[in-house]
A = this chain, B = another copy of it.
């Protein structure tokens, strides 16, 4: 049976039960799906067999909801979201039968994100723009924009769109060049290393840096599951050095995106202003030392990726 628009401007399979009136044009609702009154579904969506949609649900445009999925009260799917088959949402952190005393939690899946087959999404999380939740993953924390999460519990294993990123470290045989990356001048800066029997020494003269450090900070004691950074600065440049252990750093200038693994005190990553960054996979007791070009200024932080894209994204001048 091919999907033909019904008289309402969207397609409804004859075995579907649709009780809402808010469904966008060209959206298709398939057999044995059930949409309760009040639900809002955008245009060009695909609501597959055996899907169930409660009333307080908002679905954007061009969203795909595969078979066996339920969208409970409080679920918000922005445009272009993909929800794989049997992926399971929740809205109650501590469910007890017949007990509705706890406030239901809202779950937000941002534009372009995908949720893999049979994944489980705990209540109250936000899944960032274009993030990718792997099949079978149990998501227990917020997922940053563009992050790839897998496992039970779900952990970040990478970021989408960074396939060409250099990896610095012993596992790779080709050392990365120090060429600038992207449109803002993200680059690896290599300091000389003096090595003798007494150990190693790496030196950086301040005036060889692209900025004069006004502030230093050291990050340590980070559980390996944590993600730090996750913001951009408006005017502050940063130089990150992993002084012990290793860490992976995502950089994203709004147009290009890459990952660098830092694991050598002599190699630092320059993150200029207007570059979104985040650090993850802190391993082996990673300690990250950061030199910053400006003193602390709360107003210099761009704290959400959406805000970052608005200020520094593809449509803005570099």
Contacts and interface: CB of A to CB of B under 8 A. Distances in A.
Contact of A17 (B15, B80, B207): B15
Interface residues of A, number: 90
A222 B194 CA distance: 12
22 contacts: A62-B98, A68-B86, A68-B88, A82-B97, A85-B89, A94-B114, A97-B112, A118-B138, A122-B135, A136-B152, A150-B153, A151-B153, A199-B222, A199-B226, A201-B218, A203-B217, A203-B296, A206-B213, A218-B241, A220-B243, A220-B265, A265-B287
Contact of A120 (B19, B31, B89, B135): B135
Given A66-B70, A88-B118, A90-B116, 7 more contacts: A1-B37, A52-B68, A81-B97, A88-B117, A151-B153, A200-B221, A220-B265
A174 B315 CA distance: 52
What number of copies of this chain does the assembly contain?
Answer: 6
Interface string A12-46: 00010101000000000011101001000000101
Tell me if A's interface is mostly helix, strand, loop or mixed: loop
